[in-house]
Amino acid sequence: MEIMLIDFNNLNINKLSFETEFEKKIKTFLEEWFSDSETVKVQTSGSTGVPKVFDIEKNKMINSSEMTCDFLGLKEGDKALVCLPVEYISGKMMVVRSIIRKLKLIIVDPSTKPIENLESEVDFCAMTPLQVENSLDKLYLMKNLIIGGASVSENLKKIILNNSQNLQSTRIFETYGMSETLSHIGLKKIFPHAENYFTVFENVDISKDERGCLKIFAPNLNSEVLQTNDLVEIKNEKQFKFLGRIDNVINSGGAKIFPEELEALVKKEIPNEVVFLGIDDESLGQKLIAVIEGEKSKDLVDKFSDISFEKNFHKPKKIIFIEKIPRTPNGKVSRLNLLKIINEKRDN
């Protein structure tokens, strides 16, 4: 099957042939976008709670699109590629950016290997970490790649760096954002050189609340101040470092443990997906465990034992192997469902 391409500098929806289910969803969204309605419906991922559908103003999506396109230097006639579900803001925004900047948009059905049949260069693409991991041999075709939907593991960063000889003209960024900020409000370069802090776009103000969680005011995207549950370190008015979600914090024997920090450390040494969880414990309140995706392996357990944790209580009390870690439809690890599976195994 030929890869579908839409030229937004010369658009005639009626002359296009939308064949796959994904292509038909793109068509439905285009019809919604070019309708008289001032809003479009967007579904949240459900990674941190119950999925919900809400309306977003088209003019705010246009503002977001211009921020990203300006930051990356995208121009009319450049090629973009969408391979993310269009039900969510990530997929919708790829289409809107293409409309606003008059890009040529390649349509590829979302999958874990979205660009395996791609042969030509692309100026701009967005993928999940899992898609990138399965597309390493074709990343050289990407001029600007943004990775979102989940944090980029240290192991994936290392793999990308080891593949650097093939990525002469490629820039790769990690994104920070959410549905309410219309995709991302900031980017952090991870290739050709790695940055430690996200840099937010113009007209985006950041601060912290009393808990140390990020507050975002981006009036061009959302009229309200957005209060997140993301613990951050703020370097200056435009840069911050993500530390972890406050609702993921594990309280074990009175010590607060940030699982995302431990996962980043472990993934420098272990290629498998690893998730740290706190399970109920009578004496500690919560007991720290590590869940590794894949078959049980003595080699992995030994590698885990060799990791130098900053604090003694950062070492998990137990390591559990699981065949498949549950994820949301857009690829994020579902900690709630994973905890449920672990608790059910304990009860049986």
Per-residue exposure over 145-164, b if at least 16 CB sit within 10 Å of its own CB, e if not: bbbbbbbbbbbbbeebeeee
Share the mean pLDDT of the chain.
89
- 52 pLDDT above the threshold of 70: yes
pLDDT band at 245 (very low <50, low <70, confident <90, very high): confident
- 190 pLDDT above the threshold of 90: yes
pLDDT band at 152 (very low <50, low <70, confident <90, very high): confident
pLDDT band at 179 (very low <50, low <70, confident <90, very high): confident
- 2 pLDDT above the threshold of 80: no
Show contacts of 340-347: CB within 8 Å, 24+ apart: 342/277, 342/279, 342/289, 342/291, 343/279, 343/280, 345/320, 346/279
**Selection from 31, 36, 4, 8 nearest residue 18 by Cα:** 4
pLDDT of residue 48: 52
pLDDT band at 6 (very low <50, low <70, confident <90, very high): very high
pLDDT band at 13 (very low <50, low <70, confident <90, very high): confident
**Selection from 287, 260, 285 nearest residue 275 by Cα:** 260
- 167 pLDDT above the threshold of 60: yes
Q: Which of 137-151, 200-214, 331-345 has the least mean pLDDT?
A: 331-345
Contact 170, 159 (CB under 8 A): no
Which regions of 77-223 does DSSP assign to beta strands (E)? 79-82, 104-107, 124-127, 144-147, 171-178, 183-191, 198-200, 205-208, 213-217
Show contacts of 258-262: CB within 8 Å, 24+ apart: 258/231, 260/151, 262/290, 262/309, 262/314
pLDDT of residue 107: 95
pLDDT band at 29 (very low <50, low <70, confident <90, very high): very high
- 34 pLDDT above the threshold of 70: yes
Q: What is the DSSP string of 40-56?
A: EEEE---SSS---EEEE
Cα–Cα distance, 2 to 12 (Å, whole number)? 19
pLDDT band at 331 (very low <50, low <70, confident <90, very high): low
- 89 pLDDT above the threshold of 90: no
pLDDT band at 49 (very low <50, low <70, confident <90, very high): low
pLDDT of residue 53: 82
pLDDT band at 16 (very low <50, low <70, confident <90, very high): confident
Of the two residues 173 and 244, the one the predictor is more confident about is 173
Report, as an integer, the average pLDDT of 213-219: 94
Report, as an integer, the average pLDDT of 202-210: 94
pTM of this structure: 0.80
pLDDT of residue 347: 65
Report, as an integer, the average pLDDT of 213-233: 91
- 307 pLDDT above the threshold of 80: yes
Of the two residues 87 and 95, the one the predictor is more confident about is 95
Query: How wide is the angle at C-alpha 248 spanned by C-alphas 111 and 128, nearest 5°?
Result: 15
Write down all domains in the chain, each with its CATH number in brackets: 4-202 (3.40.50.12780), 249-347 (3.30.300.30)
- 160 pLDDT above the threshold of 70: yes
- Cα 193 from chain centroid (whole Å): 19
Of the two residues 38 and 14, the one the predictor is more confident about is 38
pLDDT band at 225 (very low <50, low <70, confident <90, very high): very high
Share of the chain above pLDDT 70, in %: 96
